Chain A
Amino acid sequence: MVLQLHVWGPAFSLPSIDAQCLAAIAYCSEVLPKDSWELIASSDPSVSPTGELPALQNDSVWVSRFRNIVDYLRQYSEGDWDLDQNLDEVQKADSVAFSSFVESRGQPLLDLSLYVTSQNYYTNTSPAYGALLQWPNQWILPPKLHAAAKTRTEHLGLSSLDLQAMEDQRQREHNAAVASGQIPKNLLPSQPSTVSKLLGRTAQTNQFRLVALTADFFEPLEAMLARTKTYLLPADKDNETPSSLDCLALAYLSLALVPDLAFPWLRDAMRSKAPLLAAYTERMRDRCLGEDSTPAQAFKPEEPSKLPWRAPERISVSTVGKTLLGTLADNTPFLSEVRQNRRLKRAVEEDESFSSVEKQALSSYADASTKDMFVSIAAVVAGTAALVGYMVQVGLLSFERRGADEEEFEEDVGMSHFEPESVNDILGI
């Protein structure tokens, strides 16, 4: 069986738009023999039962996330397909720590650069998704990813990169001024919201925060590279082969360096602060990811390329239906919570490494929180009913129609004498 790696499709002339996918591609191209794997730009997390990309499929076995894929390949090949086999203890510790560092510091920067910075999102990222997604995911997934990136970077306090949020804020202030009646509406200055004007107000504070953030990320990597010269963590004595950490670093760094964005602050920062790192990224990219990748190449792989592309399957009607229903359910307030609990439960039940006791405890937790939810629905319904009952009783809400014609009014008088008692009866007050 040929291993199949499902990923998010190509964008910005890189083979994938997602950093974890890029890392998996780089790792596979480095460690796997060329004809033993295929790369599929399915660009739809629902192809995998784990609901995440990258996902490696080997017959009925699905493995997702970069680290799990690395572990799986090592176990599957009984240690042959492992870039890290020659690392000593200290290097292994470094590999774990630097991986965690690259993921936790790199992801927010990419989020800020590709999603939160409005110019980049609307002129580059969003069209890139348009080119690689099929209908109806084109309309469903990018806003979701956009929103997720915004929540991930909220705590950094750089929402002023987000022109839309700025504009909303300005609109709110504007409306508040109008509503409070301080200023007549036609006298309010209508500020044309040009990009430079909006940025101008906060550009300096932004600049300070961004300089600090990018420096925090690039400096340790640059210092590390200055020592080892060739790779961040060379996997052999001659410093000739990269390790899994290099694949992961390449993924995050290339998404910072390669995309030609409208507002390239991240690329500028990298080139000025970490010239070694920029050169290293170019070198690694040539080695692992090959020449420029385009969506056309991924979807109609006719010419031979460095990466073993295979065209994704055409989207079927049932998948479309499933996607639409899933989206609908996720956007319905109560259903989304049920689905979230199910997700936890399913993830647990599928995992074989849990002992049965743990499994039971976790699924009972998921069950309990589903139950909680039904209880809260019931409480809300009962509460609403009680409120309506009370309103009817005190006459705040009556089913009569005042001001209608006389005939109806006559009838209603009879009704209104009867009604409170009947409500009293029902509620047993």
Chain B
Amino acid sequence: MPPKDPESPPAETNASPFFTVPAPVKRLFDKFPLTTYPANEIPRRVQSHDNVNQLFVFTDARGARHGRPSFNPQCLKWQAYLKFVGIDFEITPSNNHASPTGALPFLLPSLPTDTSNPIPSHKLQKWAIEQVHCEEEQQLNLRFEVYASLLDHRIRNAWLYMLYLDSENFNAVARRLYVNPATTNSMVRAALCHQLQQAARDELLKTSRYIDAADLEGDAGGAFEALSTLLGKDEHFFGRPNPGLFDASVFAYTQLILDDNMGWKRNRLGQLLKEHPNLVQHRNRLLKFF
């Protein structure tokens, strides 16, 4: 045993041996704080655009400068929707920790300037309708919600599988886009990777006991076929003259699945999607907005 510290309180002998602070650790902590730094300044890039709506999405610095499509389907959906209805905004790279709801995207409106309340994604449509008086498309067609469930479940599940649980794709795409920008520490990266994959697995196991890749891909194939039939020969879904929320939701997945810059190693969804030329053309038409 090391010699007893003369300064240690005499009560120590009564205390459990498990809860005494070992002398070297105590000596170390006695030195704290070594220095106290002044508080960080608010990042400059946030202050610089006071008069523009700021949409916070998953993207990299270069993508943000050129307003490129985000690499996250949920973010891309709202990014595309706001573009389609003609709202001016800038995108800012961000992550979930920055969001008031814990999920991206969210928008910091430029007006009114005094109250800068962020708008989470589920209120974005309402906000956009107030801004530019576009239609609430859900009300116009009873099939909107029905076909939207294809995107929100069947295609999303296949997407989760392809991006997170297919190990080659995960290493080539998800690790590069979501994990590597977050930190340079390899231990933290490993932990983040594990968390991401586990979250995807839990999400898929919620609805079934097994993760059956063939089933997920079959479902996604059926969903693409149904969407292709719904679109038919029209320019936009439900025969609208301008693209709207449903087009944005479809584009969010078709763009990322067909984008060569994503660097997919195994793109089964891409093969399924290319069987429907009208969906591919739909994506190419909408890509011109960016």
Interface residues of A (CB under 8 A from B): 45, 50-52, 65, 67-68, 89-90, 92-94, 96-98, 100-101, 103-105, 107, 148, 151-152, 216, 219-220, 223-224, 340, 343-344, 347-348, 351, 353-354, 358, 361-362, 364-365, 368, 372, 394-398, 402, 416
Contacts and interface: CB of A to CB of B under 8 A. Distances in A.
Interface string B178-212: 00000000000000001000000100011111111
B223 interface: yes
B23 interface: yes
A223 B142 contact: yes
A88 B230 CA distance: 13
A161 B196 CA distance: 30
A67 B222 CA distance: 11
A398 B17 contact: yes
Interface in B131-157: 142-143, 145-147, 149-150, 152-154
Contacts of A394: 2, 22-24
28 contacts: A45-B209, A67-B219, A92-B226, A93-B225, A93-B226, A96-B225, A97-B146, A97-B226, A100-B146, A100-B150, A100-B153, A101-B145, A104-B152, A105-B149, A107-B207, A224-B142, A340-B205, A343-B210, A347-B210, A347-B212, A358-B213, A365-B166, A368-B167, A394-B2, A394-B22, A395-B22, A396-B18, A402-B17
B259 interface: no
A216 B145 CA distance: 8
Contacts of B266: 358, 361
A52 B211 CA distance: 12
A87 B208 CA distance: 29
Interface string B1-21: 110000000000100011010
B149 A100 contact: yes
Nearest to B268: A358
B213 A220 contact: no
Contacts of B143: 94, 97, 220
B146 A397 contact: no
A82 to B, nearest CB: 15
B39 interface: no
B1 A353 contact: no
Given A52-B210, A397-B18, 14 more contacts: A52-B209, A92-B229, A93-B229, A94-B143, A94-B146, A96-B222, A97-B226, A104-B152, A107-B207, A216-B145, A340-B205, A361-B167, A396-B17, A396-B22
A364 B207 CA distance: 24
B209 A51 contact: yes
A327 B222 CA distance: 36
Interface in B229-255: 229-230
Contacts of A361: 166-168, 266
A133 B194 CA distance: 37
A310 to B, nearest CB: 25
Interface in B9-46: 13, 17-18, 20, 22-24
Given A65-B215, A152-B206, A365-B165, A98 B22 contact: no
A148 B208 CA distance: 10
Contacts of B213: 348, 351, 354, 358, 362
A226 B230 CA distance: 21
Given A100-B154, A394-B24, A395-B22, A343 B207 contact: no
Contacts of A362: 213
B189 to A, nearest CB: 14
Contacts of B207: 107, 152
Contacts of B167: 361, 364-365, 368
A402 B225 CA distance: 77
Interface residues on B, range: 35 or more
| In the complex, the 8 A-B pairs of residues with the closest C-beta atoms, listed nearest first | A93-B229, A93-B226, A96-B226, A101-B149, A395-B1, A394-B22, A101-B146, A365-B167
A50 B149 CA distance: 26
Contacts of A372: 194
Nearest to B205: A340
A96 B147 CA distance: 9
Contacts of A348: 212-213
A101 B143 CA distance: 10
Nearest to A52: B209
B2 A395 contact: yes
A245 to B, nearest CB: 11
Contacts of B212: 347-348, 351
Contacts of A148: 206
B221 to A, nearest CB: 10
Contacts of B22: 394-396
A353 B221 CA distance: 14
A361 B214 CA distance: 14
Nearest to A413: B1
Contact of A344 (B18, B211, B226, B229): B211
A169 B266 CA distance: 46
Nearest to B149: A101
A151 B206 contact: yes
Nearest to B165: A365
Interface in B80-135: none
Given A394-B2, A397-B17, A220 B146 contact: yes
A130 B154 CA distance: 34
**Centre residue among A67, A100, A151, A396 by max chain B CB count within 10 A:** A100
A89 to B, nearest CB: 5
B118 to A, nearest CB: 19
A151 B229 CA distance: 34
A102 B209 CA distance: 19
Contacts of A396: 17-18, 20, 22
A93 B221 CA distance: 12
A396 B154 CA distance: 56
Contacts of B23: 394
A350 to B, nearest CB: 9
Nearest to B204: A344
B18 A343 contact: no
A216 B266 CA distance: 36
B121 to A, nearest CB: 14
Given A90-B229, A92-B229, A395-B2, A347 B211 contact: yes
A101 B142 CA distance: 12
A156 B165 CA distance: 26
B153 A104 contact: yes
Nearest to B3: A395
